[in-house]
A and B are shown apart, each in its own frame.
Chain A
C-alpha cells in the first residue's frame, strides 16, 4: 500500500499521527520530511522516543524525499509521510510529481493566521499556496483524525 497518508502537521510525530492514524492504517513506517530535523541527530532521537518499536522512522530532507518517494511507494508496508508546513509540502510537490493528495492535519495558531477550522489556521499567503497546490492537481483536504470528515479545500481556504 506504500504511503497511505501525506500529511501537513506542525507537531510532526505525535499522538494523532502514531495512534489516531497509525493504528487503523496499520502503519509500520513514518517518513518525516524536514530539512532542519534531517540535520539534527538530537531532534531525531527526540522523535524516535514517541514511536513504538515496530514503527520505523525515516528522516529525510525535501530533496531526499523526492528522490526516495518511488521506493517508499513500492514498499509493501504501509507508511505515513509528514511535513511540518505548507512550504515544505509545496517544495516536495515541486520536486516530485508523485504527491497526488495532501492531508492538512494540524496547522495551529500564530500571528498573522486566522482560524479556518478548529485545527487549521492559515495566513492569506498559506491559503493561496494551498489553492495553488490544488490547481496543480493535488487533492487537498483537512482531516485531523480518520473518524472525522475530510473537509475539501474549498471549505477552509
Chain B
C-alpha cells in the first residue's frame, strides 16, 4: 500500500479524543488516528464528520459500542465507500497494535485489531 491506513475512532462524548491522546503518549505516533464524537450530532452531521475524517482514503473505523448512532453511521459510511472496515468495542490495546500495523488492507487490519483488543480483556489474579 502506498500510504498507511488511517484509523478513525467514532465514539460517544470524549472517548475518542482520550484514546487518541493515550495512543500518542504511549507510542509517540501522531496522526495515525482521528477522533470523532457524536456529541451534538444528528445522523447527517455525524456522516459529515465521518466524511471529513476519512476522506477518500482506506480506513478502519473503530466504534465504541456495537449499536447506536456511532455504529449505524459508520456502517452506512462503509457501505457507500470502498476500503472501509468497521470494528466495534474499541479499546486502547487494539489501537496500540493497529498503529504499528497499518500497511495492510482495511479488512486485515480490522481482524488483527479485534484479536489484539480481545486478548487484552481478561480477569487477572489478585
Residues in A lying within 8 Å of B, measured CB to CB: 10-11, 13-15, 18, 42, 46-47, 49-51, 106-110
Given A46-B75, A46-B76, verify A108-B68 contact (CB < 8 Å). no
Q: Which 6 A-B pairs have the closest CB atoms?
A: A50-B67, A108-B42, A10-B42, A14-B68, A14-B69, A11-B69
CB distance from A39 to the nearest CB of B (A): 16
CB-based contact B40/A15 at 8 Å: no
Question: Does B66 have its Cβ within 8 Å of any Cβ on chain A?
Answer: yes
A9 nearest in chain B by CB position: B42
Number of A-B contacts (CB under 8 A): 50
What is the 8 Å Cβ interface bit string for chain B, positions 74-103, against chain A (1 contact, 0 not)? 011001000000000000000000000000
Partner among A10, A42, A49, A110 whose Cβ is within 8 Å of the Cβ of B67: A49
CB-based contact B72/A15 at 8 Å: no
**In the complex, A108→B67 CA distance in Å?**
20
B65 nearest in chain A by CB position: A15
CB-based contact A110/B44 at 8 Å: yes
Chain B, range 1-30, C-beta contacts under 8 Å to A: 12
Partner among A10, A49, A106, A109 whose Cβ is within 8 Å of the Cβ of B71: A49
What is the 8 Å Cβ interface bit string for chain B, positions 53-68, against chain A (1 contact, 0 not)? 0000000000001111
Which of B12, B72, B76, B79 has the largest count of A CB atoms less than 10 A from its CB? B72
Q: A50-B72, A110-B45 are in contact. List 13 more A-B contacts (CB 8 A).
A: A11-B43, A13-B67, A15-B67, A15-B68, A47-B72, A49-B66, A50-B67, A50-B71, A108-B41, A109-B42, A109-B45, A110-B42, A110-B44
CB distance from B65 to the nearest CB of A (A): 6
CB distance from B47 to the nearest CB of A (A): 12
**Which chain A residues lie closer than 8 Å to B42 at the CB level?**
10-11, 106-110
CB-based contact B40/A13 at 8 Å: no
**Which chain B residues lie closer than 8 Å to A11 at the CB level?**
38, 42-43, 68-69
**Which chain B residues lie closer than 8 Å to A14 at the CB level?**
67-69, 72
